[in-house]
Chains A and B, each alone.
Chain A
């Protein structure tokens, strides 16, 4: 039996799921969404997702000790619960599988050109099997540790990058004429903010998690600020023209830097890959945990390692299906559209039902 998570642990779950693969391309996404004013769409999305995470944690808190698929029956009935279970399973599974694949591809292209990507994927899935089989508490404790290293690493990295860049490259910060571009640009950045819905899969405790409404939105705020810091620092190196050229723009910009005063740490790309990989492990463990929960709770079967092994094997096989990196990117993009439903629509619908039926007052 899992012990209830603390508020801080929940905040790290949110952090590790949201800041996954998306962070490596954040400067390019920002530059495409709003040019040098790319921080504005990020700020807008931060506010929206703070609200979104607030709603999800509110629903979790009033239905304490239950996960989404347990309490949604009361809210929307059995039929819709099954649909929700299917949607979330597919959604989590897609991220679980294809983020692993694209991570393997990125590592192959940038660091291990001769290693086949299926080997990297395979080793990664074995690792994920091990972490997910240990249960939520272990995953979350790892998230707490790795998440902290990741936050410190990212901030440290951004500050170092800033020292090598020039402020003039990130200006103008705001152009009145571009207001509509900033608003429409938010859709290009939404992928980097998906993941808060993982809280649906975590049972809250009435006693322990009364302050979760502060912690969860606050961590989204921190993520937003960190995204802006990372994006702006990478843009400060060579302007928006340079970051637009590359997909993994942070990594590519970091690869071009040589910081003499850091002596043995002067080549930042190695450190960056480590910091980023730590986060990928946490993020994928959580996505995998999400799939496991959806299947177990949706089909009402007890947690067992056989099902997990099946999920992992299915993940590994599915990850090999797309033939090129472009196909994987497309699939992730389409799954991002599903994110509009899982991350924005479903929480909102459930909140409205809860409010209309006044379940929250009955529950608290």
Chain B
């Protein structure tokens, strides 16, 4: 009997000590952030947090909770602590950032360096390290204020658009943790999705080129393909090729990267990089139906190869001559293959002058059920 009482007493004491009590807070008392934007206004940091409005609104026919509504809080200061402090003065609830979809940097802020906020994301436990990082082409305040026509809110629109494109092999999805890893690796440059607004929808506009955490340039989405062949795990492009240069005879084809091999060496005090791309090539359809035979396909394949080759070479030249930084992670391969030489050289200085040879092999996989003569 006494034993039973002991158990009961200890259970009561234990339940009052349950550690979760300290950190428990009802969802009504939370300010649910959906995205955060960071901007720079003449040296002053502007922090725009976009939050979900959870209050129910009565519409005559009973109550309805509308999660689609959101509102903005803008605060500014010289540093993040000051900015954040100002934010706290106007927000009645405590912040919940677990539902955040994306962090948006303005172009002007990114040009001055994003490392500080990236470290904030990674070291503060209330911010998710797997958050998507993007840079937008206009003031963040206006960008996040856009009423989006094709998604729940702009935060979701940013994440969904980039996620879909990344899944289809059309762009990269960079998280806070990945960006921090790049910044820590002093030899490498990296890219971050660059977005804007078009017709009340989030538009992927290209890739922002980052060097030492500062944005130095933008790769337009129209010239992005060559870069993606060197960066993505599984890039997938739908393209058009002209038969014998004749603009009337157009073929739609798909190019998927099957394998990318990178070999590096160090000879005569010069870095050599051999890039071998194996691409699966498939013809989707003809703009105007004409007889299709093996020779024709071979010609098309070689034209497509040439086209991709030019794009890849363009991308490499841009990185070496214009950006002067290794955004393709060749440095990692060089370090892995030539650890001794790597320690002797300064990769950032060697990379712009490196010999980079590109070899592209295409392999026809299918002609999309088209009969061949």
Seen from chain A, the residues whose Cβ lies within 8 Å of a Cβ on chain B are: 36, 109-116, 119-120, 122-123, 126, 168-169, 171-172, 175, 177, 237-239, 241-242, 245, 252-253, 255-258
Contacts and interface: CB of A to CB of B under 8 A. Distances in A.
Contacts of A114: 22-23
Nearest to A258: B130
A113 B185 contact: no
B177 A256 contact: yes
Contact of A169 (B122, B128, B332, B337): B332
A237 B333 CA distance: 15
A238 B177 contact: yes
Given A241-B181, A242-B181, A257-B130, 15 more contacts: A112-B19, A115-B20, A115-B23, A123-B17, A123-B19, A126-B14, A169-B332, A177-B339, A237-B181, A238-B180, A239-B332, A245-B180, A255-B128, A255-B129, A256-B176
B19 A238 contact: no
B90 to A, nearest CB: 22
Contact of A256 (B22, B126, B175): B175
B184 A123 contact: no
Contact of B19 (A115, A171, A253): A115
A112 B339 contact: no
Nearest to A244: B184
Nearest to A172: B339
Contact of B336 (A109, A168, A177): A168
Contacts, number: 86
A112 B180 CA distance: 24
Interface of B: 14, 17-23, 122, 125-126, 128-130, 175-178, 180-181, 184-185, 329, 332-333, 335-337, 339-340
Nearest to A169: B332
A241 B125 contact: no
Contacts of B335: 171-172
A242 B125 contact: no
B373 to A, nearest CB: 43
Contacts of A256: 122, 129-130, 175-178
B19 A119 contact: yes
Contacts of B336: 36, 168, 171-172
A239 B187 CA distance: 12
A113 B176 contact: no
B171 to A, nearest CB: 16
Contacts of A126: 14
Contact of B184 (A172, A175, A241, A253): A241
A237 B125 contact: no
B17 A119 contact: yes
Given A169-B332, A242-B184, A119 B14 contact: no
Contacts of A171: 332, 335-337
A113 B125 contact: yes
